[in-house]
Structure 1
Amino acid sequence: MPLLQPLLPFLFVLLWSTGFIGARFGLPHAEPLSFLFIRYLLVIVLLALLALAARAPWPRDARLIVHLAIAGVLVHGLYLGGVFLAIAQGLPAGITALVVGMQPLLTAASAGWLLGERVTRRQWLGLAAGFAGVALVVSSKINGEVPLGAALLPALVALLAITVGTLYQKRFCPQFDLRSGSVIQFAAAALLTGLAAAASETMVIDWAPEFVGALLWLVLALSVGAISLLNLLIRSGSAVNVSSLFYLTPPLTALIAWLLFDERLTPLALAGFGLAVSGVYLARSTASASK
């Protein structure tokens, strides 16, 4: 595992970046919260079976269980719910990614007084460069007017949720078994999402092959693979260090969309991609050096 440790952040970014692609494939066949509810149920069953088969320890401290549930609602329920709702209501995926891409700046601004983490001047510079790179990539894909109002609100909720959730888990859930703890987190997210879906959606799903494929990918690669990696990274790194990885998601998503859907990358987008990569490298290398 120590040999693979340096590769974990890059694997996380690769998996996390496919989330918007999976949503693009699946959302035409299901309403957003219903889609997420089914996804959470499958993840809960899979992780519970893995935890039982491996005889993983389950949390016995009631306070830890509550903290895990709150972190699950924030990191899974509200974040993913906000992203899916924003896309479903017409906010372009690129703009959604840009809004959520501000998360490292909010984390850096909050980590100092919430977690006592020191954010250096070079680290701020790297975070700012990363944000500028994301803005360049996304701006190159925006055509016409940006829809605001009701479509933008879920994206803002997602931004706040992933920011607060990362900080909350780092502070209140520093150690837990990833298999059993994730079951608790996804169960809390499923409860909230299921209630919201039942109250606001028809919950009718078109089980087309495209939807099934997107669902399985999001369950296995995102909710199991990427989330497990995120938990490992939160546990082993600083909040700012981990959150800076989210800057690479919109550029890499644009690259994957180019490969799958022939969405062209303009020179401006390529420049932004390089700037985002440089910013993340600067922020992460500075954070690592300061440990």
Structure 2
Amino acid sequence: MAVGFVLLWSCGFVGAAWGTTAADPAGLLAWRYVITAGVLLSVAPFLRARVSRRDLGQQCTLGLTAHVLFLGGVFAAAASGVDAGTTALVCSAQPLLVAAAGAAFWGDRLTARQWTGVALGLGAVALCVGGVGDLGPAIILPVISLLGLSCSALLERRWAPRVHVVTALTVQVSAAAVVFVTVAVLTSGLAVDPTARLVGSLAWLVIPAGLGGYGAYLLALRTLGATRASMLLYLTPPVSAIWAWAMLGDRIGAPQLVAMGLGIVAVLLTANSGQNGRTTARPPGGELARCTVTPGSAAGRVHSASAPLGGGTPRAPGV
């Protein structure tokens, strides 16, 4: 799960590098999400999944945070001249933010070794991307990306949705598609030149990066927990560098290799993180009636008393 998530999440750089040379970022994002939504909507009916209004609202919110705010901020930062290293370094604070929120709101307790892993991972990303470039007002854009992805992880933990992963991804991508198409229409427009480079980049962005990357992200959040899944993001900058070397011919140097080693050590240090950011949402009311039958009556008399659901510590939902 961890290896698949890191590989698929990291590969989006290649498609973005291809696509932004052939189309405006707003149009590229719009077409990416329109195509991805079309693929998912063609598959979703076969699942025959029932989605409540509450589920629909939650997944739309997750679509706005994990897709619109995160990717929109990344692409807008690039268009505004923020260098990729700065954006990557700002977004790499996500595991630290999620871990801090887990400690503040859920009472998670990370050991000194695990906090060392968090700091080491942040340093690994800084080494990989070469530090922060010139800061300006546009730095708010990668900060928006950071907050969007962090909120998606924390909301996933808070709500613990039981919606099928494919159904959840369908709703999220469809909601994001509406936003990205609207932004493209109001700015650069949807017209693109369907060159071979653009078609190849869209295919890459839709299949391995979109369906694979975000599908693996949801699975990682549900099975590994918000904290562990977030820690894995420390490995994405050096793995992205390897993708760029393999697919684009970019040079990979010693800093990227050292950063990967440090990132692996950081993830191993934080491997046993207690709660791991997994909780189970309680049903409305939070309690179920416990029934007992009093002897001495043919029908029996039923008494109810408040009892926690499951009679103990709630378990994380299955995928």
Question: TM-score, normalising length from structure 1?
Answer: 0.88
Aligned counterparts, 1:108-187, within 5 A = 108-139=99-130, 146-187=133-174
| CA positional deviation for 1:290 | 11
Gap change, CA 1:21 and 1:92, over 3 Å in 2: farther
Shift of 1:195: 2.0
Match of 2:90 in 1: 99
The offset of 1:288, in angstroms, is 8.3
Match of 1:222 in 2: 209
- Structure with bigger gyration radius: 2
More helix by share: 1
For 2:178, the equivalent position in structure 1 comes to: 191
Separation in 2, partners of 1:115, 1:223? 30
Tell me how far 1:42 sits from its aligned partner.
1.1
Q: Distance in 1 between matches of 2:223 and 2:66?
A: 18
Conservation of the 8 A alpha-carbon contact between 2:108 and 2:275: no
Equivalent position of 1:30 in the other structure: 23
Compared with structure 1, are the counterparts of its residues 58 and 30 closer, same or farther at alpha carbon in structure 2 (3 Å cutoff)?
farther
Q: Retained in 1: the 8 A contact 2:10–2:237?
A: yes
Over 3 Å counting, the alpha-carbon distance change for 1:290 and 1:221 in structure 2 is closer
Residues 114 and 269 of structure 2 are in contact (CA less than 8 Å); yes or no, is this contact kept in structure 1? Answer: yes
State the 1:95 CA deviation.
2.5
Read off the aligned partner of 1:251 and give its amino acid letter.
P
**Aligned equivalents of 1:116 and 1:174: distance in 2?**
21
Q: Distance in 1 between matches of 2:228 and 2:174?
A: 28
Tell me the number of residue pairs that the alignment of Structure 1 and Structure 2 aligns: 278
| Contact preservation (8 Å) 2:36, 2:206 | yes
Decide whether aligned partners of structure 1 residues 278 and 174 sit closer, same or farther in structure 2, where only a CA change above 3 A counts.
same
State whether structure 2 residue 14 is matched by structure 1 residue 21: yes
Deviations 1:13-58 (A, max 9, x none): 01111112211100122222221111111111111211213x3313
Distance 2:162 2:116 in 1: 31
Structure 2: gaps spanning 5 or more residues: 279-319
In the aligned structure 2, how far is the partner of 1:114 from the partner of 1:31?
40
Q: Let me know the Cα RMSD of the aligned residues.
A: 2.2
The one of 44, 48, 60 aligned to 1:56: 48
5+ residue gaps, structure 1 = 1-7
Among residues 246, 261, 276, which one is paired with 1:274 in the alignment?
261
**Structure ranking higher in strand proportion:** 2
Q: CA deviation at 1:256?
A: 1.9
